[in-house]
Amino acid sequence: MILDCAIIGGGPAGLTAGLYTTRGGLENVTMFEKGMPGGQITNSSEIENYPGVTGEISGMDLMMPWPEQCQKFGLKHDMVEVTRITKEGNLFTIHKNDDTTTQAYSVIIGTGSRPRRVGFAGEDELFGRGVSTCATCDGFFYKGKEVAVIGGGDTALEEALHLAKICSKVYLIHRRDAFRSAPNTIKRIKNTKNIELVLNSVPDEVYGDAMGVTGLRIKNNNGEFRDIKVPGVFTFVGNDVNNQTLIQEDGSFLCDVNKSGEVIVDISMNTSVPGLFATGDMRIAAPKQVVSAAGDGAVAGLQVISYVDELLN
Ligand code: FAD
Ligand code: NAP
């Protein structure tokens, strides 16, 4: 069977695309998601800027009903990793890591982004043994203990606030003296007594023993070193887009991307390849918000309905 639409990625963008395509009348739509649907927001302890959702809610709780709502209209979920998307004539082929392929008339890709590594000594060796990129997942291991957070954007600050509720102290280490975050979040950081700001400083080395991390050496802009004896180091220094499925056998991209690998789209989420739409965090100029990723999914979903209709009729 040839799918009307293959949706790659089951975050806010992919799930909303699934809702709009199926509710809009397309019968054969499958979402290919390698894990549990929901996307990266499920790693967030709290989201307070999704319109209409008030009160304290975790990313996991926000996303919980989304897949069920799509399934009600007929969206299918294939829990598999997509390795490559190719196109011949009017047909796309979805290559999967179980060595099978699926064909589709259209594709909406929303594979999001992944946490970037900072690049200090010991980071890779101690990853998962004290170095982490997920406070919701690992914060509880450090209940009542001191931890370090690296980064100065929204993610670092919000996760530092979350960790401050669990841990005895949070060292927030940032390479500049100004944060790249919402003013309200910065205010909350400054008002939180057990967060110590360590500005104009970068991590130099994380070290440990057989049990895991025992400390972090940081270096300030004057070249001075300081050792912070913490068992946990959380890094939040931005993300890289997941565009690997667009890379062809010869190393070129299936559609146009910019220098950072973000997919170039127009305001209807069309890529340079007819029938291929890109949504959410992976597209150019993405606001990197749940609400905008969902909006992209809706736009692409509506476009796909017209595209498939014109192609087949
Ligand atoms: P993602 O959410 O990244 O989803 C992509 C999905 O694709 C994932 O489920 C992944 O498993 C899947 N996938 C990737 N590659 C493949 C493949 N090859 N095959 C199959 N599946 C694949 N935004 C807000 O609006 N408010 C907030 O408060 C907020 N807080 C955040 C806190 C944290 C800690 C983080 C990390 C992000 C936060 N964001 C917040 C940003 C928000 O999570 C993202 O903008 C949003 O999730 C992007 O949605 P997406 O659908 O584009 O991608
Ligand atoms: P980001 O905004 O790109 O911030 C990354 C931070 O890490 C910056 O402060 C940067 O420093 C620092 N950094 C980068 N590389 C570094 C390195 N090698 N060493 C030390 N520090 C380094 O990333 P993000 O915070 O993950 O946010 C990503 C996107 O999601 C943003 O658009 C953000 O607004 C959005 N988001 C929104 C919310 C929300 O709306 N509530 C929550 C989370 C995320 P510089 O400042 O010096 O560049």
Mapping DSSP onto H, E and C, the string for 278-312 reads ECHHHECCCCCCHHHHHHHHHHHHHHHHHHHHHHH
47-95 confidence digits (pLDDT tens) = 888 999 998 888 999 999 999 999 999 999 999 999 999 999 999 999 9
Considering the chain, what is the average pLDDT of its residues? 96
Q: Which residue in 61, 137, 227, 266 is the catalytic one? A: 137
Instruction: Respond yes or no: is residue 167 known to be catalytic.
Output: no
d(CA 191, CA 161): 10
**Residue 123 pLDDT class (50, 70, 90 cuts):** very high
> Considering the entire predicted model, what is its pTM?
0.83
Between the alpha carbon of residue 96 and those of residues 100, 242, 251, 281, 310, the distances in Å are 6, 15, 18, 22, 28
Question: What are the residue boundaries of the structural domains of the chain, listed by start?
Answer: 5-115+239-312, 131-235
Please name which of 235, 18, 12, 257 lies closest in space to residue 132, comparing C-alpha atoms. 235
| Phi and psi angles of residue 104, each rounded to the nearest 5 degrees, phi first | -150, 150
Strand 239-241 and strand 146-150: the pairing is: unpaired
220-249 mean pLDDT? 97
237-253 mean pLDDT? 96
Ligand 2 pocket, CB under 6 A: 49, 118-119, 150-156, 158, 175-176, 180, 202, 236-239, 288-289
Residue 25 or 139, more confident:
25
Return the CATH fold of 5-115+239-312: FAD/NAD(P)-binding domain (3.50.50)
Sequence-distant (6+) residues with CB within 8 A of 107 are 5, 6, 7, 8, 85, 92, 94, 275, 276, 277
Q: What is the largest CA-CA distance in the chain?
A: 69
146-176 confidence digits (pLDDT tens) = 999 999 999 999 999 999 999 999 999 999 9
pLDDT, residue 36, reads 94
DSSP, collapsed to helix, strand or coil, labels residue 273 as: coil
pLDDT, residue 231, reads 97
**Residue 135 pLDDT class (50, 70, 90 cuts):** confident
Q: Is the CB of 34 under 6 A from ligand 1?
A: yes
CATH 3.40.50.720 is the classification of domain 131-235: no
Nearest-atom number in ligand 1 for the CA of 47 is 28
pLDDT, residue 35, reads 95
Percent of the chain with pLDDT over 90: 88
Q: Is the CB of 21 under 6 A from ligand 1?
A: no
d(CA 271, CA 283): 9
Instruction: Respond yes or no: is residue 5 known to be catalytic.
Output: no
Ligand 1 centroid, distance to 275 Cα (angstroms) = 23
Ligand 2 centroid, distance to 302 Cα (angstroms) = 32
281-312 confidence digits (pLDDT tens) = 999 999 888 999 999 999 999 999 999 999 99
244-253 mean pLDDT? 98
Q: Which ligand has the minimum distance to the alpha carbon of residue 133?
A: 1
Q: Is the CB of 39 under 6 A from ligand 1?
A: yes
Ligand 1 centroid, distance to 18 Cα (angstroms) = 16
d(CA 118, CA 236): 8
| CA nearest ligand 2 atom 21, residue | 151
pLDDT, residue 46, reads 77
